[in-house]
Amino acid sequence: MDPTPSSLCPHFGVCGGCLWQDLDGKTYLARKRDLVTAALKHHDVHAEVAEVEPIAPFSRRRASLKAEKRADKVAIGFHGRASHTLVDMRACQILEPGLFDCVAGLRERLGRVLRNGDKIELYLAACANGIDLALRGPLAHSPTVTAEFARWATLLGVVRITLNGRLALLMSTPRLAIARVWIEPPPEVFLQPTRAGEERLQHLVSDGLGKARRIADLFSGCGTFTYVAAERASVHAVDSDRAALEALADGVRHGQGLKPVTCEVRNLAKLPLAAMELNRFDGVVLDPPRSGALAQIESLAASKLKRVVYVSCNPASFARDARRLVASGFAIGLVQPVDQFLWSDHIETVTVFTRP
């Protein structure tokens, strides 16, 4: 969809959420692809970069927002571009409609529990049975606060509220489908930004793993790629988030038709799987944080592994890590960008590395 002046978000140019909404579709996708090609060139990595696969507007299912009460009114939204000023979000062409409606309702109702000058952080995730809401900031647990939450939770479609890491209200346990497995996600767990993007990444990863039958899923989270891999191979899932792995394991117990899955709580940035450990597998998928996985990449380079599928949300750290893998004898395959971060200067990629 090419933008017109009337279709631009009224906050565009002020809100820091969208940078490139004013570009026509062809220019926009080319600029997104350039983020990847420039990063690879900077690290002297030669690879074919595919055209960007777009994701539709109004599709983001999770959001981290800020809220502030000032002059008896609550503002909720993103910070302004290169600013700490909060932009009160009255429109959004990124969020799922249900998520945006919840934000609009929170604007009014949070004013009843916040004091003037209070600033809090909100994490919202759209689950199958409602919205999971986490709040962090100067708001204490109390019967009054809990009662206020209970008054409006059903009206806003909220099924769970946590406050500063503690459960404050549970109307119903959140449920979420990943591939063909249902899980109960822990509060504030990492999820792929969009459902459509998640499905596309899963397809690319599944194809990239080829005929591997013993797979290590590194930085697995709650199982974005574990479950699709386990449909045909045994999987060892590793992550530092214990709660996410417990949700993953519970999903495996209740899932059907999955090969064996084991889980290991481990900080891969500080204690990566060593080469000898990696040699037990014939395929690896890794989806690290924005900083990349340099320590783990060093072990992958030193191992006997012949197939690695790398999912990245940061072209800079990906290109750095790719250079190390290529130097160790891996050939880099097609780099496929997927635009999960609409109108921003972020882009997701999936790439398969192989060696003889």
Structural domain includes residue 84: yes
Among 146, 174, 202, the domain boundary falls at 174
CATH of the domain at 106: 2.40.50.1070
Residue 182 lies in a domain: no
- Catalytic positions, written as ranges: 313
283: CATH: 3.40.50.150
pLDDT at residue 3, as a whole number: 57
Q: 304-339: per-residue pLDDT in tens?
A: 999 999 999 999 999 999 999 999 999 999 999 999
The token duo for 82 is 């290169």
Q: Using the predicted structure, report yes or no on whether residue 49 has a pLDDT greater than 90.
A: yes
User: Is 21 a member of any domain?
Assistant: no
Mean pLDDT of 12-37: 94
In a shared domain, residues 204 and 66? no
Asked if residue 70 and residue 39 are part of one domain, the reply reads no
d(CA 91, CA 237): 39
Task: Tell me: do 169 and 280 sit in the same domain.
Answer: no
CA distance 183 to 176: 5
CA angle, 154 as apex, 153 and 158 as ends, to 5°? 55
Q: What is the pTM of this model?
A: 0.95
Share of the chain above pLDDT 70, in %: 98
pLDDT in tens, 27-37: 999 999 999 99
My answer on whether 207 and 336 are in the same domain is yes
Q: Where are the alpha helices (DSSP H) in the chain?
A: 25-42, 97-109, 143-156, 195-209, 226-229, 242-254, 275-278, 294-302, 315-327
Q: How many domains does the chain have?
A: 2
CA angle 320, 321, 326 (to 5 degrees): 100
Regarding whether 224 and 75 lie in a shared domain, the answer is: no
Can you tell me the mean pLDDT for 179-207? 97
Q: What's the pLDDT score for residue 46?
A: 98
pLDDT digits (tens, 9 = 90+) for 101-153: 999 999 989 999 999 999 999 999 999 999 999 999 999 999 999 999 999 99
Q: Is residue 275 part of a domain?
A: yes
